[in-house]
Amino acid sequence: MATRSRSRDDTVPSGGGAAGGETDAGESNGGEAADGPPLQAAAIAVRSAVRLAVSADLDALVALEQAVFATDRMSRQSIRRFLSSPSAVVLVARTQDDLAGAAVLLVRNRSTVARLYSIAVDPRAAGRGVGPALLEAVESSAAARGATRIRLEVHEHNARAIARYHKAGYRQFGRHARYYEDQGDALRFEKMLAPPSDRGVAPVARPLP
Ligand SMILES: CC(C)(COP(=O)(O)OP(=O)(O)OC[C@H]1O[C@@H](n2cnc3c(N)ncnc32)[C@H](O)[C@@H]1OP(=O)(O)O)[C@@H](O)C(=O)NCCC(=O)NCCS
């Protein structure tokens, strides 16, 4: 399990809205991501399966938190608030039946800097392109909302995440000393975003059917 690497001082944006998707997809993940059967080994089109989270994803998002993070988990209430916050974008990567990963992006009004607040891939889906697919969708969503760059913090010892960010084109630009509860430093990363017109992919704009 990973140590939570997002900022300690983040607060969950409040307020109504549908940034994370208000429609109910009518399907329930039933919280099976942590305890259910292994994710299907069949070839999956993860890239096309990343979509905005909906309220029906809540149980699976909570289960993903519990499966991935050992400390400082987002509470069920926090996740629910992210799902309805106008300044938060919650994305989920699905296989046919399971939640394979999720990401929370914060894009405040009139800010050109978006913040990747959290990203997590179910350990059973590791190495299958879920992280890159989520990051690509995060970046498209941020650009579509007017952001020109994404920033994030990551624990200095989180080698897997740091490797993923480097491979996705993020560059370290700073460091916060003793940022985390264990006194570890936070590495600050950022990536400049191509404008939506140059991205060549449709932004994640609404839940897939
Ligand atoms: C960070 C995370 C989302 C990336 O997921 P992912 O893109 O699917 O990638 P993986 O974890 O499979 O591996 C990332 C890359 O790092 C490499 N890697 C794995 N372990 C590594 C290690 N200990 N040191 C260096 N590189 C490592 C992998 O080989 C992979 O590279 P590749 O795609 O070229 O093979 C995922 O690892 C995760 O959910 N981690 C726990 C939660 C977390 O730390 N989130 C970030 C902070 S909120």
Asked whether residue 23 is domain-assigned, the answer is: no
24-28, 144-148, 176-180, 187-191: which has the minimum mean pLDDT?
A: 24-28
Atom of ligand 1 nearest to the CA of 163: 16
Asked whether residue 90 is domain-assigned, the answer is: yes
111-115, 174-178, 182-186: which has the minimum mean pLDDT?
A: 182-186
Asked whether residue 3 is domain-assigned, the answer is: no
The residue type of 177 is A
- The residues lining ligand 1, judged by C-beta closer than 6 Å to any ligand atom, are 2, 5-6, 68, 118-121, 126-127, 130-132, 154, 158-161, 163-164, 167
Asked whether residue 163 is domain-assigned, the answer is: yes
Q: What is the CATH number of the domain that holds 96?
A: 3.40.630.30
Beta bridge partners of 2: 69
Asked whether residue 7 is domain-assigned, the answer is: no
Q: What is the mean pLDDT of residues 96-121?
A: 94
Which structural domain, as residue segments, surrounds residue 67? 42-199
Higher pLDDT, 113 or 197: 113
- Please tell me the pTM assigned to this model: 0.80
From residue 64, how far is each of 51, 92, 97, 177 by CA, in Å? Answer: 16, 11, 14, 29
Measured in Å, residue 17 CA sits from the centre of ligand 1 at 32
Asked whether residue 192 is domain-assigned, the answer is: yes
d(CA 36, CA 18): 29
d(CA 203, CA 51): 10
Per-residue b/e over 61-98, b at no fewer than 16 CB within 10 Å? bbbbbebbbeeebbeeebbbbbbbbbbbbbbbbbbeeb
Measured in Å, residue 193 CA sits from the centre of ligand 1 at 22
Q: Please write the tens of the pLDDT for every residue from 79-93.
A: 999 999 999 999 999
Asked whether residue 156 is domain-assigned, the answer is: yes
Report pLDDT for 3.
65
The residue contributing the CA closest to ligand 1 atom 28 is 160
> What mean pLDDT value characterizes the chain?
80
Asked whether residue 126 is domain-assigned, the answer is: yes
pLDDT band at 30 (very low <50, low <70, confident <90, very high): very low
Q: What is the mean pLDDT of residues 48-56?
A: 90
Measured in Å, residue 160 CA sits from the centre of ligand 1 at 3
- Say how many domains are in the chain: 1
- Inform me whether the pLDDT recorded for 46 exceeds 60: no
93-97, 141-145, 157-161: which has the minimum mean pLDDT?
A: 93-97
Read off the tokens for 79: 């996740």
